[in-house]
Structure 1
Amino acid sequence: MFRWFAFIIIVFIMYQGQKVLKSQLNRGIRNNNPLNIRISNNAWVGKVTPSQDKAFETFSNPKYGFRAATRLIRNYQNIYGLNTLSGIIRRWAPSHENDTTNYTQFVASNIGVAPNDTLNLYDDALMTRLVHAMSIMEVGRYYSMQDAAEGVALA
């Protein structure tokens, strides 16, 4: 009897610890939203409705967050004609909220392009590196390149 009681106590403590750890994570990680996409009316694949966050989308899996980011960035090119890293980052992370220059330099050095190079946003390998590097700026080094690749492949 004591063994069962001890086992139940240990499981309960472990479960509570998992809840505490999850609540201490960065909001983009908690929301499975690696690039911190703001709430919108878009009917994203994998979108959790209502969002668990007042300002940012929540996705059921990080791959859907990477997918949504890929779609948004490609729309920056298709709708707004933005096809350089500088242009994309200025729109994604405006200077009134972010250090856009630092953000751009970090991503450029991580993906091996200059800030004003023309990018082929339909090159899945490039997009994977791009959204992965942007996720590091947004939420830290949490997601793998494989996580990013899964989302890009879904876009």
Structure 2
Amino acid sequence: MTQSLPRGVRNRNPGNIDHSPANNWVGQIGKEPGGRFVIFDTPENGIRALGKLLQTYYNKHKLRTVKDIIKRWAPEVENDTGAYIRTVAKRCGLGPSDQIANIKDPKILGGLVQAIIKHENANFEYPPAIFAEGLRRALA
């Protein structure tokens, strides 16, 4: 991959998930040199991790709206969280405070994952087959 691609794409970590010694993601092969983000072996496993983390936010932390999820995903100390919330909600066809009934719904989880990937990676989109496989792994 070339340096011109967004960091999340180069690291096959399209959610820009921070490296943590407590996590051992499927396909995790390290941490970026001098950085803080996980590197995955394939984009499918990076997409999987993003989807799994969103499910943890929903199930363990009881975050049920785009607003609540993105406030945790992209803290205000590092991001324009308000803009991030509005962008993700719009791309998902949801209002920022709409209740998410079922995070395991492929349309809902897929919409959130896709919107976060685009926001984190300058509107980058994976080919449909790669995205679908990553989402399938997240839902397995």
- Segments of structure 1 that go 5 or more residues without pairing to the other structure are 1-20
Q: Which has the larger radius of gyration?
A: 1
Assess if the C-alpha contact under 8 Å between 1:129 and 1:145 holds in 2.
no
* Aligned residue pair count: 134
- The structure richer in strand per residue is 2
Matched with 1:9 is none
**Counterpart residue number, 2:31:** 51
Which amino acid is the alignment partner of residue 128 of structure 1?
G
In the TM superposition, residue 71 of structure 1 has moved relative to its aligned partner by: 0.6
Amino acid corresponding to residue 70 of structure 1 in structure 2: G
Aligned residue identity for 1:80: H
Unaligned ranges ≥5, structure 2 = none
Higher helix fraction: Structure 1 or Structure 2? Answer: 1
What letter matches 1:142 in structure 2?
F
Q: Which runs of 4+ in 1 moved over 3 A?
A: none
Corresponding residue for 1:144? Answer: 126
**Aligned ranges for residues 2-151 of structure 1 at < 5 Å?**
22-41=2-21, 42-48=23-29, 50-53=30-33, 54-119=35-100, 120-144=102-126, 146=128, 147-151=130-134
Q: Which amino acid aligns with 2:85?
A: T
CA distance in 1, matches of 2:32, 2:115: 25
**AA aligned opposite 2:13:** N
Deviation, structure 1 residue 145: 6.5
Q: Is the Cα–Cα contact under 8 Å of residues 132 and 145 in structure 1 kept in the other structure?
A: no
1:97 alignment partner, SS class: coil
Give the root-mean-square deviation of aligned CA atoms. Answer: 1.5
CA–CA separation in structure 2 for the residues paired with 1:30 and 1:84? 29
1:76 Cα deviation after fit: 0.6
% same residue: 38
Distance verdict in 2 for CA 1:145–1:87, change over 3 Å: farther
C-alpha spacing 1:111/1:145, structure 2 compared with 1 (3 Å): farther
